């Protein structure tokens, strides 16, 4: 279809606009009170009014998310590389990575807060977000490093490749699509981790978007809650698209997942 691009962009956009108009119309028609459901125009107004404080909070959340994500990439890929070099180390450590993953982060968050100290809440947020974001990258990269073509491995062996050459020329490129898949999941999880951590930390010690939501909720400033929520969604969407773009750019010439099929 030659207009598939138009469909992909304009169709969702049209649905979104129609939805907002309907929302606005219904709220006005039934005179729904603001603290139950504010109209979109009222939310936009609140966004403008609180622009300064909301943007500041956005930056805090963004910083925690991005930092946690980058550390998760470094840690996840690094540990996966260590695993690929030694089955023994993998066997010894992988179960603990799983335990870290399956334990609900909300339940460890208070503990981490206490350990790190309430005066360094941002560090605690970072650790919590990192725990959540770390595992998909680790497990995907581990799988990817193992998925290298066996004939290619043989070829490298035949030509006397060193361990390092096998890793850099064969294992890592083979693992790249898996790694990027893990990163796409982790990007969203890092944001979720940052938000959850802030909810747990509460107490006004942190000043990210999640805290703005709690604060506005306590004051029954529902339009501001929605405004903060809107920014959070926008942040999540941006992260997702940025990582999708990265994936597409890196894989478009060679990997099945990113290739355009000839019609």
Residue 175's alpha-carbon distances to 139, 171, 221, in angstroms, are 11, 6, 47
Q: Residue 247 CA to chain centroid, in angstroms?
A: 14
Shorter beta-carbon distance to another protein: residue 49 or 154: 154
Cα 32 to Cα 20: distance, rounded to the nearest angstrom: 15
The 10 Å Cβ neighbour count of residue 26 is 12
Shorter beta-carbon distance to another protein: residue 157 or 248: 157
Q: Which residues bind another protein (CB under 8 A)?
A: 149, 151-152, 154-161, 165, 169-170, 173-174, 176, 253-255, 259
Asked if 166 contacts 219 with a C-beta cutoff of 8 angstroms, the reply is: no
Cα 41 to Cα 223: distance, rounded to the nearest angstrom: 10
Least Å from the CB of residue 148 to another protein? 10
H or E segment and range at residue 163: helix 163-165
Shorter beta-carbon distance to another protein: residue 57 or 174: 174
Cα 101 to Cα 244: distance, rounded to the nearest angstrom: 24
Shorter beta-carbon distance to another protein: residue 29 or 253: 253
Least Å from the CB of residue 154 to another protein? 5
Least Å from the CB of residue 149 to another protein? 7
Least Å from the CB of residue 177 to another protein? 9
Shorter beta-carbon distance to another protein: residue 181 or 223: 181
Least Å from the CB of residue 254 to another protein? 5
């Amino acid at each position: 279809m030659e207009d598939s691009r138009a469909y992909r962009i304009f169709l969702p956009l049209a649905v979104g606009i129609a939805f907002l108009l309907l929302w606005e119309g219904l709220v006005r028609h039934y005179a729904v009170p603001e603290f139950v459901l504010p109209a979109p125009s009222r939310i936009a107004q609140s966004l403008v009014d609180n622009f300064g404080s909301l943007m500041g909070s956005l930056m805090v959340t963004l910083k925690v998310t991005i930092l946690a994500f980058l550390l998760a990439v470094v840690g996840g890929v690094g540990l996966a590389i260590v695993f690929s070099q030694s089955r023994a180390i993998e066997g010894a450590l992988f179960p603990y990575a799983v335990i870290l993953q399956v334990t609900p982060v909300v339940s460890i968050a208070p503990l981490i807060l206490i350990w790190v100290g309430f005066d360094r809440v941002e560090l605690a947020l970072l650790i919590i977000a990192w725990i959540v974001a770390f595992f998909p990258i680790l497990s995907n990269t581990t799988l990817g490093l193992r998925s290298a073509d066996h004939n290619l491995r043989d070829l490298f062996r035949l030509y006397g490749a060193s361990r390092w050459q096998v890793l850099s020329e064969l294992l890592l490129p083979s693992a790249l699509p898996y790694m990027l898949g893990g990163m796409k999941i982790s990007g969203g999880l890092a944001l979720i981790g940052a938000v959850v951590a802030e909810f747990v930390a509460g107490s006004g010690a942190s000043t990210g978007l999640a805290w703005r939501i709690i604060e506005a909720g306590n004051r029954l400033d529902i339009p501001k809650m929605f405004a903060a929520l809107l920014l959070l969604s926008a942040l999540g969407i941006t992260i997702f698209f940025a990582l999708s773009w990265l994936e597409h750019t890196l894989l478009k010439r060679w990997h099945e997942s990113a290739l355009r099929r000839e019609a």
